């Protein structure tokens, strides 16, 4: 089983997964962003977004399938994924492999997202790079908010302004209900 936690940058994906982790100790945490960082070291990313690399999408899906098959444990995936074609490409590989995918999307207002992004430090030793990353994240708020209308029909929308504990309660209850527990 894969629990994909989606949403805009600053919506609380990693915070939610951090809250789920101790409450679901058998779950593995897999951040596909790491795959993107590796690819950036090897190949040029012409658009600046490693999700546009077909290889990234293939590797993300293959590694997720491998983690489930090899370890037989649930996998928590905190990753913004909003391009409908990319969502379809990755999720269909997962479901074709017989993996149950629970997709959650954190909905958060623009104002809260901007405040959270402004409060983060991405590269503390490089203020100019920090500002570029903040700007990049903020430029993606609108597309992320608009993507809510294009996500797969089974997507569960969560109020990203709830506490991490409340969100984890909802996710675990949904997963348990789907499993018939």
181 is a domain residue = no
180 is a domain residue = no
> Residue 27's domain spans which residues?
2-172
Of 60, 68, 77, 104, the closest CA to residue 21 belongs to 77
179 is a domain residue = no
42 is a domain residue = yes
- Is pLDDT at 82 greater than 90 in this prediction? yes
For the entire predicted model, the pTM comes to 0.93
85 is a domain residue = yes
14 is a domain residue = yes
Tens-digit pLDDT profile for residues 24-72 = 999 999 999 999 999 999 999 999 899 999 999 999 999 999 999 999 9
Show contacts of 167-172: CB within 8 Å, 24+ apart: 167/12, 167/16, 167/19, 167/106, 168/16, 168/19, 168/20, 168/23, 171/3, 171/5, 171/16, 171/20, 171/102, 171/104, 172/20, 172/23, 172/24
* Per-residue buried b or exposed e for 91-121, using 16+ beta carbons within 10 Å of the residue's own CB: bebbeeeebebbbbbbebeeeebeebbeeee
71 is a domain residue = yes
Q: In what order do the strands lie in the sheet with 101-107?
A: 28-29, 75-78, 2-7, 101-107, 156-159
* CATH number of 48's domain: 3.40.50.300
Tens-digit pLDDT profile for residues 113-127 = 999 999 888 888 888
What is the model's pLDDT at position 123? 82
Tens-digit pLDDT profile for residues 129-142 = 888 889 989 999 99
- Is pLDDT at 75 greater than 80 in this prediction? yes
What total of structural domains would you count in the chain?
A: 1
């Amino acid at each position: 089983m894969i629990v994909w936690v989606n949403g805009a940058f600053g919506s609380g994906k990693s915070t939610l997964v951090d809250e789920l982790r101790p409450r679901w100790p058998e779950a593995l945490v897999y951040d596909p962003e790491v795959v993107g960082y590796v690819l950036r070291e090897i190949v040029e990313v012409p658009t600046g977004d490693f999700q546009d690399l077909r290889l990234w999408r293939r590797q993300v899906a293959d590694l997720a399938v491998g983690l489930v098959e090899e370890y037989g444990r649930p996998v928590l995936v905190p990753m913004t994924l909003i391009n409908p074609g990319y969502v379809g490409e990755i999720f269909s590989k997962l479901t074709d492999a017989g993996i149950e995918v629970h997709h959650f999307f954190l909905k958060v207002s623009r104002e809260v997202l901007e405040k959270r992004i402004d409060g983060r430090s991405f590269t503390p030793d490089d203020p100019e790079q920090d500002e570029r990353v903040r700007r990049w994240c903020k430029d993606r708020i609108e597309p992320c908010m608009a993507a809510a209308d294009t996500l797969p029909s089974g997507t569960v929308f969560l109020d990203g302004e709830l506490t991490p504990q409340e969100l984890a309660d909802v996710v675990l209850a949904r997963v348990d209900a789907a499993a018939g527990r």
